[in-house]
Amino acid sequence: MRSTTAVAVLTTVTVALADVVSLDSSKRGLCYVKGENAADDAIWDNANGTLTWYYNYQAQPTSGIDDRLQFVPMLWGTNGQNSGFYKTVKGLIDGGRKIEYVLGFNEPDGCSN
């Protein structure tokens, strides 16, 4: 009896939360490396598309991409090759580019990380 009641309560709570929390989002992004597949470029870099942001594994945006797509820079660890990351991103912001987020990652299984 208790397990039946618990299941009923959990089901009711789950349904109620599903009504409150919308899973729809207007934010759509992708990893975008222009030129790797020219046929894809016409789809992703389209003024009528639903994408709103992109990243390209770099601190600098990809040239030629419509400015309506928000660029999200990516930081690759803290080793010496990223020493100019802050200056690059700050320069983009100071130059008028809207940057609200930065991507980073951690790969603890990699021997060199």
Full-model pTM: 0.66
Stronger pLDDT, 6 or 87, i.e. the higher one: 87
pLDDT by residue (tens digit) across 30-67? 887 766 677 777 777 777 778 888 998 899 998 877 77
Long-range contact set of residues 101-105: C-beta below 8 Å, sequence gap at least 24: 101/72, 102/72, 102/73, 102/74, 102/75, 103/55, 103/72, 103/73, 103/74, 103/75, 104/74, 104/75, 104/76, 105/74, 105/76
pLDDT by residue (tens digit) across 22-36? 556 677 788 877 666
